[in-house]
Structure 1
Amino acid sequence: MTYLQLAYFHLATVLPAFLIGTYLLANRKGTPTHRLLGKIYMSLMLTTALITLFMAAVVGPVLIGHFGYVHLFSLLVLYAVPRAYFAVRKGNIAKHKRSMILLYMGAILIAGGFTFTPGRMMYDWLLA
């Protein structure tokens, strides 16, 4: 896949994840709808994190000729999603809640915010 194809695939998973995650954080927890959308959200986040690992860093320092600082957010997702899933399965709602907030704040808001900085594709598409 080309970088552009990966970028489109990434957008196709992260945009619905953003919408679903926002809905989940703002609405009642523990309902059947929350559980279903939570599974979809977690799947989208895992998929988008895996996609980004194949996208080479284009801004800032590069490690091993491929990875940049933004890839740390992919690792955050790969850590936070299973942690949240297993926490809720064990009935540890507080741990699940912390993991989901960490995931949303770090991987959606902060990493998403970085995509609108100069030199990045979203900046070029929407702000330049």
Structure 2
Amino acid sequence: MTLAPLLSAAPVIQLHAFAALGALALGGIQLLAPKGGGRHRAMGWVWVALMAVVALSSFWIATRGHLSWIHLISGWVLLLLPIAVLAARRGRIRSHRRAMASLFLGGLIIAGGFTLLPGRIMGAVVFGW
């Protein structure tokens, strides 16, 4: 494992990757930690901001000069984030919980899995290819 491929990448790719790694770590903590209260809410806002950065920055990362199908996930994240926050604010905790878990799984775990493929920067970071 080496960070060299990531550290030599364009700044937008670095921003995207480090925001995603932060969201992955914080999201894991949020899923396991007690819910409700000020700490959950504060960490949740940071997570929402990180996810917005990840999704927005992806639009400046284009394969072969154009957007790909994976950018649909970014649009989905940007659509679902405010819906999930509003659900919590309106007391619809079950909807909030489902939306946030969906964002974590789809927006970070599944989309992140594709970044580990050969020829991708994070694949080179983790596996050295």
- Counterpart of 1:61? none
5 Å matches for 1:11-30?
11-30=17-36
Superposition map of 1:85-100 within 5 A: 85-100=85-100
Query: 1:4 Cα deviation (Å)?
Result: 1.6
Unaligned runs of 5+ in 1: 59-64
1:80 alignment partner in structure 2: 80
Matches within 5 A, 1:2-17: 4-17=10-23
TM-score when scaled to structure 1? 0.88
Partner of 1:54: 60
Within a 5 Å distance, the mapping from 1:29-68 to structure 2 comes to 29-58=35-64, 65-68=65-68
* Equivalent residues of 1:17, 1:41 under 8 A apart: yes
Cα deviation, 1:65-86, whole Å, max 9, x if unaligned, reads 5111211111121012111011
Structure 1 segments (4+ residues) deviating >4 Å: none
> Quick one: distance in 2 between partners of 1:114 and 1:73?
12
How far apart, in 2, do the equivalents of 1:99 and 1:123 lie?
Answer: 28
Q: RMSD in angstroms over aligned alpha carbons?
A: 1.3
C-alpha separation in 2, matches of 1:19 and 1:126 = 16
Q: What's the CA shift for 1:12?
A: 2.2
What stretches of structure 2 of length at least 5 have no aligned partner?
1-8
The residue type equivalent to 1:70 in the other structure is I
For residue 15 of structure 1, report the CA deviation from its aligned partner. 1.1
Amino acid at match of 1:91: G
Count of residue pairs brought into register by the alignment = 120
Paired residue secondary structure (1:29): coil
What SS class does the counterpart of residue 57 from structure 1 fall into? coil
Shift of 1:27: 1.1
Question: Equivalent residue for 1:69?
Answer: 69
Residue deviations 1:46-70 (CA, integer Å, cap 9, x gap): 1111000111025xxxxxx511121
